[in-house]
Chain A
Amino acid sequence: MSNETTLSRRGFFTKIGILLNGLVAAALAVPMAGFLLSSITRGRGNGYLSWVPLGPVSDFPEGETRLATFRNPYVMPTDGKTVDTACWVRRIAGDQFQVFAVNCAHLGCPVRWFSQSGLFMCPCHGGAYYSDGSRASGPPERGLFEYPYKVQDGTVSIQAGELPTPGAAIAALTGEKPSCAS
């Protein structure tokens, strides 16, 4: 009877043993969680974004929209071709550009530019956008994602490094534009 209420030496050491293991587990959980979540924590703020050159301004004739490719600024040795990324560069006039992500604002499929009809079309779920990136029709709720760009010493550069998704930082930079179609 007394064994149940009072703490025996063995019972005490068992409890200390469990506690010790709990402490070790908790201490190890910190670096493990840190490792697991590093892909999130590393990218806080604009951690993943940096300026990457797309090429000289002369590569992009005025009034045209052309496909450009760039290498993602954050590369790991096993990435292979996946770090090469495409984007649509529209040179409006002079140093005035619009650089669109190829990823449809609906669910990320690669949109293609049709210069004759002046539309970006998505092959997956049928989203369409006008030449200025604004939504034309289909399931997208907004226009194409736009990379911030700058023109320096005759070279066009964009701020890139993260997959453009509706929740990514890039999405906040360009909101829905009023579309021409009612």
Chain B
Amino acid sequence: MRIMIGKIGQWFDRRLQLAAPIREAVEHPVPRRTASWWYVFGSAALTVFILQIVTGILLALIYVPSAAEAWSSLQALNHDVTLGWFIRAMHGWGSNFMLAIVLIHMVQVFLFGAYKFPRELTWIVGVFLLLMTLGMAFSGQVLRFDQDAYWGLGIGASIASRVPILGPSIVRLMLGGPIIAGATLSRFFALHVFVIPGMLIVFVGLHLLMVLKLGINEWPMPGRVVRRGTYVSEYHELTKKDGAPFFPYAVWKDLFFAACVILAIAACALYFGPFGPTGQPDPTIIQTAPKPDYFFLWLYALLSLLPPALETPALLVGPVVVIAGLLLLPFFSGEGEKSWKRRPIAVLTVLLIAITLGTFTHLAEFTPWSPHMSAWSGDPVPVRLLHGTTALERQGALVFQAKQCRNCHSLGDSGGQRGPALDGVAVRLTQNQLIRQVIQGGGNMPAYGNNLSPAETTALVAFLETLYPAGQTPARDASRDTVLSDIPVKTSGGQP
């Protein structure tokens, strides 16, 4: 039997002549210390990519890339087709895992100085791989053609339209017409299924080829400095002196980790199920609060928090600066220390970016900047706030509820967080300040002067004046006290 297999193998290799180069590739010597758990993320990303290709092809057997039918074909996958839900869930969770692993891989490469000479091009190709992975994540979200996808495309179009001069043309090219419709979904399907994956395969091939040709980055040691003149010979000496064949010396960790990642994806798919689709992509249904997928949440938060005047420059210049910075990084620091122990700025940069993105993502999970569109009808004014109040104050509470103040202001921990909580507003603002704020707005609050009658304003302010915690006194206008009270007037009149 073994002889038979061997003969068949020889027959093929006589014609293909691939055995020798493959053996050379898998048995190439790597520095012993690189057989580390830190070096498994690249191969894990590749494994997840292959999983995405397989599950993607399976989904394409059922999915219909037509704006009229995509949503119902997703419903069919979720509910009618045997295990359709599981394949969708694997693809969706695979996407999240792939982005996470690609990012971890990138951080590891950056902190280990692996982008330095002679691996600059490997890093640059890697940056393009990151951009393509993000492109896959966004276009994949569009293919899940639901309300979030529809309005997400609208957000993409609004951003693109801000490009000077070319903006409207870019929008029409992106949408495949004047509006988000059938042509839009079809072209995102082409991008997600043909264009970007094709590019990804080519770039992954290049990336791997360079890893093989240039050798895996050695374990960075403080003091072992990269110099263009001597690095290559030093590296070869290291692999000769303290090297081991990649297969089988180092590969088992990659295999273990890849299997664990795939198992984790399957576990998430089984436990959490597929993502969406949410409501139908019908633009006449406007009772929706679109939200991007997890990895774009930070951008969602950033777009809410940037000052309006800074937004367009940040949207148009920001990505260019970030991408240019990433691409130029190996040219600015192509030599020198590799170890993170001697590169405090690199470590701080990673921490700063991670904390910033983490904070924005966290904020976007509960969107304090968005009005609670149903708070005015869903959250009643707490009864305890109405105990012992006058008729006017109760009338004010009614105005407060009816005029939808709670869409933006919370009371008793329920309501919007767009504006400040009003539980203690009377401590902060006097009667006059309350009237001014309600009528004229300001500080990001709309003016309600045109929308409240004087009687309503009086009642509303009377209610707001009752909102102060027990044990604290409401704010009062000291100068007004002086004017209204007789005795202090006399005393102050006596002063020079």
Contact = CB atoms under 8 A, between A and B. Distances in A.
Q: Is the interface of A mostly helix, strand, loop or mixed?
A: loop
Interface string B161-173: 1110001110111
Contacts of A39: 172-173, 175-178, 183
Nearest to A171: B161
A162 interface: yes
A80 B69 contact: yes
B407 A121 contact: yes
Contacts of B86: none
Contacts of B446: 119, 128, 130, 136-137, 181
A161 interface: yes
Contacts of A36: 173
A10 B169 CA distance: 46
A125 B176 CA distance: 27
A167 B286 contact: no
Contacts of B158: 103, 106-108, 165-166
Contacts of B128: none
Contacts of B284: 69, 81, 84-86
Interface of B: 66-69, 150-151, 154-155, 157-163, 167-169, 171-173, 175-186, 280-284, 286-290, 300, 303-304, 306, 308-309, 311-312, 369-371, 373, 376, 402-405, 407, 418, 440-442, 444-451
A109 B303 CA distance: 13
A180 B450 CA distance: 9
Interface string A142-179: 00000000000000000001110111110000000000
A6 to B, nearest CB: 38
Contacts, number: 225
Contact of B67 (A80, A122, A141, A165): A80
Interface in A71-103: 72, 74-86, 102-103
Interface stretch (A13-21, A24-32, A110-118): A110-118
B390 to A, nearest CB: 23
A19 to B, nearest CB: 28
Nearest to B162: A166
A23 interface: no
A49 to B, nearest CB: 8
A78 B304 contact: no
A77 B154 CA distance: 21
Nearest to A168: B168
Contact of B404 (A75, A116, A126, A138): A116
A108 B155 contact: yes
B407 A109 contact: no
B298 to A, nearest CB: 14
Contact of B178 (A78, A116, A138, A162): A162
B444 A137 contact: yes
30 contacts: A40-B169, A48-B178, A76-B177, A76-B182, A77-B182, A78-B66, A78-B186, A80-B66, A81-B281, A83-B179, A83-B181, A84-B283, A85-B284, A103-B158, A107-B159, A109-B155, A117-B376, A117-B404, A121-B407, A123-B370, A124-B300, A124-B370, A125-B304, A125-B370, A130-B446, A139-B303, A163-B178, A165-B171, A169-B168, A181-B442
A43 interface: yes
A180 B451 CA distance: 12
A181 B441 contact: yes
Contacts of B371: 121-123, 126, 128
A161 B173 CA distance: 16
A129 to B, nearest CB: 8
Given A79-B182, A107-B158, A109-B151, A84 B311 contact: no
Nearest to A142: B308
Contacts of A106: 158, 303
Contacts of A53: none
A74 B179 CA distance: 9
B151 A163 contact: no
A115 to B, nearest CB: 9
B373 A112 contact: yes
A36 B174 CA distance: 11
B451 A118 contact: yes
A139 B444 CA distance: 9
B161 A165 contact: yes
A167 B165 CA distance: 8
B373 A121 contact: yes
B182 A80 contact: yes
